[in-house]
């Protein structure tokens, strides 16, 4: 077989994966309203893609305050838990493992989305950053609106957020998930605390790198204590700086965080990597140092070809490979890779976010 490692089974902290393909989290904004409730259409979508060994769901807000985009699902109400049960049942019947990505957007939000002023580590507005709403635009398109100035979080806010991550994790397990992924990447709340340009605090959660990783570590420990370390992963994005997140210290900060996460013996670290065509490559030295620092599973996601994925696995630099767009348009992506078949392309960009029908969501064809 051309891609021996990609198609090998893998044991992720007691979860036996049928292959090393991971379906990456992708926001699709299909939750039902009112209430941001997962639904049967979403269950069909995820079930179709359970050809992956493991699926990480789209980012899922842990509270209304944590919401930054329209029609994204939550995991903080009874109705949302019941909605997610449709999805976990469907995916498990097809033999795949499913983790829920826990999300708080922090300053990347607008009162036009959730009726609330955003919160963040410091009262700094993310420059050149937008979120989206649905306001009757043609073709059902999203309308982008600029983020608003956040309110600086106080100690009560920080404690509340930690508790919301814990409750979200417990709710995910109640809904039938195999585990959760703490979203610490892509310029959202935890990432905002990690970076010196967005975190100007002078208390125990700001200033030094040790202080800036504190929220990530406290959330990770609290979630692991609540549901089990083997059910807890973390997503980080050391090489992504959009949403006004450029920080010269971020690589050192991430490595310090990785050492602390290793002490917690979490299931995995998931690297969200740059995914545009001319993006810089992650230095091999960084991958080697991360492997030396973190003992458990390492995941890499970011527009990898099967050849690139196989090489990373063969070199033992990562253990699982995440694929996003290819799973979006090819629900049977692993089979297409195995048979070297051509891939479906995105049929209509208007259907990427929102819409309550199968068009551009569950109607991508399987191999005939």
Question: What is the rounded distance in angstroms from the CA atom of residue 344 to the CA atom of residue 42?
Answer: 20
Task: Check if the beta carbon of residue 337 is closer than 8 Å to that of residue 320.
Answer: no
Domain membership of residue 356 (yes or no) is no
Task: Check if the beta carbon of residue 313 is closer than 8 Å to that of residue 299.
Answer: no
Domain membership of residue 338 (yes or no) is yes
Tell me, what DSSP letter sits at residue 228?
A: -
The answer, as to whether pTM is greater than 0.85, is yes
Domain membership of residue 360 (yes or no) is no
- In order along its 368 residues, the chain shows pLDDT tens digits of 799 999 999 999 999 999 999 999 999 999 999 999 999 999 999 999 999 999 999 999 999 999 999 999 999 999 999 999 999 999 999 999 999 999 999 999 999 999 999 999 999 999 999 999 999 887 788 999 999 999 999 999 999 999 999 999 999 999 999 999 999 999 999 999 999 999 999 999 999 999 999 999 999 999 999 999 999 999 999 999 889 999 999 999 999 999 999 999 999 999 999 876 666 678 899 999 999 999 999 999 998 999 999 999 999 999 999 999 999 999 999 999 999 999 999 999 999 999 888 999 999 999 98
DSSP-assigned letters across all residues of 303-366: S--HHHHHHHHHTTS-SEEEESHHHHH-TTHHHHHHHT------S-GGGSS--SSSTTTT-PPP
The pair phi, psi for residue 300, each rounded to 5°, is -120, 130
Using CA atoms in the order 332, 303, 212, 150, what is the torsion angle rounded to 10 degrees? -80
Strand-pair partners of 12:
15
Strand-pair partners of 146:
130
Domain membership of residue 344 (yes or no) is yes
Question: How many domains is the chain built from?
Answer: 1
Among 10, 69, 132, 188, the active-site one is 188
Domain membership of residue 217 (yes or no) is yes
Domain membership of residue 368 (yes or no) is no
The pLDDT, as a whole number, for residue 279 is 62
Task: Check if the beta carbon of residue 297 is closer than 8 Å to that of residue 258.
Answer: no
Two structure tokens written together for 358: 């199968």
Question: What is the rounded distance in angstroms from the CA atom of residue 22 to the CA atom of residue 327?
Answer: 9
The pLDDT, as a whole number, for residue 15 is 97
Two structure tokens written together for 269: 């670290």
Domain membership of residue 239 (yes or no) is yes
Tokens 């039902």 belong to residue: 32
Task: Check if the beta carbon of residue 86 is closer than 8 Å to that of residue 39.
Answer: yes
Domain membership of residue 214 (yes or no) is yes
Task: Check if the beta carbon of residue 38 is closer than 8 Å to that of residue 88.
Answer: no
Domain with 335 in it: what CATH number? 3.20.20.70
The pLDDT, as a whole number, for residue 24 is 98
Q: Which domain holds residue 87?
A: 10-351
Task: Check if the beta carbon of residue 145 is closer than 8 Å to that of residue 112.
Answer: yes
Spell out the alpha helix ranges (H) of 134-274: 155-174, 189-194, 209-212, 214-227, 250-263
Active site residue 188: yes
């Amino acid at each position: 077989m051309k891609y021996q490692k990609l198609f090998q089974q893998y044991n992720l902290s007691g979860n036996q994966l049928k292959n090393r393909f991971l379906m990456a989290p992708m926001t699709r904004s299909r939750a039902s309203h009112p209430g941001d409730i997962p639904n049967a259409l979403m269950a069909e979508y995820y079930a179709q893609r359970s050809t992956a060994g493991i699926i990480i769901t789209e980012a899922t807000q842990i509270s209304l305050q944590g919401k930054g985009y329209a029609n994204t699902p939550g995991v903080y109400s009874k109705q949302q838990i019941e909605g997610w049960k449709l999805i976990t049942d469907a995916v498990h019947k097809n033999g795949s493992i499913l983790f829920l990505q826990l999300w708080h957007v922090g300053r990347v939000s607008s009162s036009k989305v959730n009726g609330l002023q955003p919160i963040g580590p410091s009262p700094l507005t993310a420059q050149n950053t937008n979120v989206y709403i649905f306001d009757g635009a043609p073709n059902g398109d999203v309308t982008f609106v600029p983020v608003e100035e956040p309110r600086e979080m106080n100690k009560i806010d920080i404690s509340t957020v930690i508790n919301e991550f814990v409750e979200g994790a417990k709710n995910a397990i109640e809904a039938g998930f195999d585990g959760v992924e703490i979203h610490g990447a892509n310029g959202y709340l935890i990432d905002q605390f990690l970076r010196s340009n967005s975190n100007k605090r002078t208390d125990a959660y700001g200033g030094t790198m040790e202080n800036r990783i504190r929220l990530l570590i406290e959330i990770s420990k609290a979630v692991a204590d609540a549901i089990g370390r083997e059910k807890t992963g973390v997503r980080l994005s050391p090489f992504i700086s959009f949403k006004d997140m450029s920080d010269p210290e971020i690589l050192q900060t991430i490595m310090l965080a990785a050492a602390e996460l290793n002490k917690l013996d979490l299931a995995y670290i998931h690297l969200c990597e740059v995914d545009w065509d001319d993006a810089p490559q992650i230095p091999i030295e960084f991958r080697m140092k991360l492997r030396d620092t973190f003992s458990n599973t390492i995941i890499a996601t970011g527009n990898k070809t099967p050849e690139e994925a196989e090489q990373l696995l063969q070199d033992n630099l990562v253990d699982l490979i995440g694929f996003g767009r290819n799973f979006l348009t090819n629900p049977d992506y692993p089979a297409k890779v195995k048979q070297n078949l051509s891939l479906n392309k995105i049929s209509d960009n208007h259907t990427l976010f929102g819409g309550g029908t199968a068009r551009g969501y569950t109607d991508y064809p399987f191999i005939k």
